[in-house]
Amino acid sequence: MLPIDAAAHASRWRRRHPLEKAVLGLGLTVSAVCLPPWPGGPVVAAAALAVLLGPAGVAPRRLWRAFRIPLGFCFTGAVPLLFQVGGDAGWVSLAPHGPVAAAELLLRTSAASLGVLLFAFTTPVSDVLPRLVRAGVPAPVVDVAMVMYRISFLLLDSLARIRQAQAARLGATGRAAAWRSLAGLAATSFVRAFDRAARLQSGLAGRGYDGTLRVLVPEAAVSWRFLGATGVLLGAVVALTLGVEGRWL
């Protein structure tokens, strides 16, 4: 199991309805995208961090390990805005408003990523997928997503075991050995993926699969108090952003 999935299953908000956490996380994400990047980005990021590290109880080190990956993509997307191709300055030169555009994009995307991580760190995928059928998503689509979610963990476990076996056989002692181990890892994983899929299909057929996977969904009532607090938080974020922006201008 991935660390973020383990954190979601052990979260303080594990028993809360996914709708509550979706409204909070999606609300912060939409606020980061729609509000002015300054001061909207820092305000949304501060609110998301306060919730993650406070009521949600996410460990700071675990949050940083998960956040640094999307943060790297945010920096990667912002760097091209610093340059322009063509013009009087040459083939490649600094864009006139490049630093401002890059900073605005970085503020928006990093704050929006924290809103998404808030939902991911508090809501297991196994709690969300079965409820999508009630929301109108076709049942076969949800079934495929559930099966792929399950198989992904099985394949990750197989990859870890193969890597351990290769390391025990000195499969990474040199560049040539490392490439051979990588090729063997890819080939073995490809074969095991098809084998897992065939075994899963046989198991479902043996259990009388009729086109729908029936799973038990933990009962959880929507807390209107939580939704009200979410509305207050989002309203405060919007008001603070617009207020500070007016003073800044």
- Where do the structural domains in the chain lie, given as residue ranges? 3-123+219-248, 135-206
Reported as a single tens digit per residue, the pLDDT across 67-92 is 988 889 989 988 888 887 766 766 77
Query: How far from the centroid of its chain's Cα atoms is residue 12's Cα?
Result: 19
**What does the DSSP assignment read for 94-157?**
E-TTHHHHHHHHHHHHHHHHHHHHHHHHH--HHHHHHHHTTTT--HHHHHHHHHHHHHHHHHHH
User: Does position 249 have pLDDT exceeding 60, yes or no?
Assistant: no
Q: What pLDDT, on the 0 to 100 scale, is given for residue 110? A: 92
Q: Is the pTM of this model over 0.85?
A: no
Residue 49 has pLDDT above 60, yes or no: yes
Q: What is the pLDDT of residue 87?
A: 67
User: 245, exposed or middle or buried, with CB in 10 Å at 0-12, 13-18, 19+?
Assistant: middle
- How confident is the model over 120-176, as pLDDT tens digits? 898 888 778 877 777 777 877 877 787 787 777 778 777 888 888 878 777 777 777
pLDDT tens for 35-47 read 898 888 899 999 9
Residues in the chain: 249
CA distances from 170 to 54, 78, 185, 188 (A): 45, 41, 14, 18
Q: What is the pLDDT of residue 173?
A: 76
Please report the pLDDT score of residue 29 as a whole number. 93
Radius of gyration of the chain (CA): 23
Rounded to whole angstroms, the maximal C-alpha distance in the chain is: 71
**What pLDDT does 244 receive?**
76
